[in-house]
Structure 1
Amino acid sequence: MYKKIIWSLIGLIGVLVGVFLILVFTDSPQSPEKADKEKKETAVQAAATVEENDADAEIEAEAPNPFGQKSTLAELTDEDYRNYIHKMSHQKVKADEKWGFYEITPERIDWLLQGLDQVNLKSEDVYRDILERWKAEDFSKVDQDHNAIWQLQGGTIGKATGILNAEEEEAFLQETEEQ
């Protein structure tokens, strides 16, 4: 008889411990303080996510990259400027070899000029001189502009040897795809 009582008490204690553990480790019966704390944490996380998304959207809305790439104005490097200006100059220069092409547009020129005010670059004066001249639609030195950038890139093949006339430029635009 004593064995039955002892085993019954052990069984009852086991059930009580099990119920206690379930109550402690589940979220069902929460205290009001815990529920409020979790609501506040969720609200703070949601607000932070909204702010991040708004900041990203604002950056994109202010200055989307007109070259179709993800980099923003604040991320531009000397290498980016050399690449963009070099490939844009191909529209207007004579050269034995040309690798890459971006059409010269007012939006691209303005975007790159805006970027010069946001980043610190080694050859900023060179880029600004070229872009401001191009903004004024002065391409009289575009072959020299190409070669200045080409030299900064360490070019050995593809030096500009002159400027395309209007018909040659139009033909280049018709037969060349942007890269």
Structure 2
Amino acid sequence: MNKFRWSVVAIIVVAAVLAVVITFKQNAEKYEIRQARHNDPDNEKIAVMDVTGKINKEDEKEEEIEEQTSDIEQAQYEIGLGPSSTGADVLETMHSMTHQKVVATDKWSNLPMTPENINAVYEFIKDSDIGFMLRKELLRIAGDWKEGNFDNIVEDHNYFWEAQNGNVGKATGVLTPEQEAEFIEENF
């Protein structure tokens, strides 16, 4: 009878371990999906997931090969900030604006870097309550943009990129005026 009890205990322990392993695996897959959705708001990567829930690496490589001036489907023509907007929303908006001027391997969204949009972002930040330090830094960046100063646009982009936990698409340079004109023509 003692061997029977140990056998039952062993079976229960093995079943519990299997349940824990399966749960961890499922949670890891859900985490990957959430990360893909976070990094790709329009869920383009989710569409290329294979049946195991893993992101198809070949499709990701094809996305990376796209040129800097390619059409970005997420073009936005209004800044989209309102009373319920957060500091994260402002970071995303300003990050999207920098894509017009920087070289980066991936650009997930964009917003025209027009004087109207720059002024709208500046005024929103000035009137918002998004935290003193964040507000101060964003006003400094938007203030430079208002003055037509884009000397630090790569650093600005990477500030937003890092604040949003970016892992792909860090800016590496500035588009030439010709590249920027082509980018504007193709995306706006």
Q: TM-score, normalised by structure 2?
A: 0.55
Aligned to 1:130: 141
Question: How far is the alpha carbon of 1:98 from its aligned partner?
Answer: 0.6
Question: How far is the alpha carbon of 1:75 from its aligned partner?
Answer: 3.0
Q: Deviations over 1:52-76 (max 9, x none)?
A: xxxxxxxxxxxxxx7164x52x333
- Provide the aligned length of Structure 1 versus Structure 2: 110
User: Distance between the aligned counterparts of 1:159 and 1:68, measured in 2?
Assistant: 22
Aligned match of 2:101 in 92, 98, 122?
92
User: Distance between the aligned counterparts of 2:150 and 2:100, measured in 1?
Assistant: 11
Aligned to 1:108: 117
Q: Deviations over 1:144-165 (max 9, x none)?
A: 1000011110111000000011
Aligned match of 2:128 in 119, 130, 133?
119
User: Looking at CA atoms only, which structure, 1 or 2, has the larger radius of gyration?
Assistant: 1
Aligned to 1:159: 170
Contact kept in structure 1, 2:79 and 2:93, CA below 8 Å:
no
Aligned match of 2:90 in 72, 81, 89?
81
- The SS at the match of 1:162 is strand
User: Distance between the aligned counterparts of 2:102 and 2:92, measured in 1?
Assistant: 15
Letter in 2 for 1:116: I
**Matched-pair identity in %:** 32
Contact kept in structure 2, 1:76 and 1:115, CA below 8 Å:
no
Over aligned residue pairs, what C-alpha RMSD do you find? Answer: 1.6
User: Distance between the aligned counterparts of 1:115 and 1:87, measured in 2?
Assistant: 16
- The SS at the match of 1:117 is helix
Where in structure 1 do 4 or more consecutive aligned residues deviate above 4 Å? none
Q: Deviations over 1:60-104 (max 9, x none)?
A: xxxxxx7164x52x3331111111100000000000111101001
Q: TM-score, normalised by structure 1?
A: 0.57
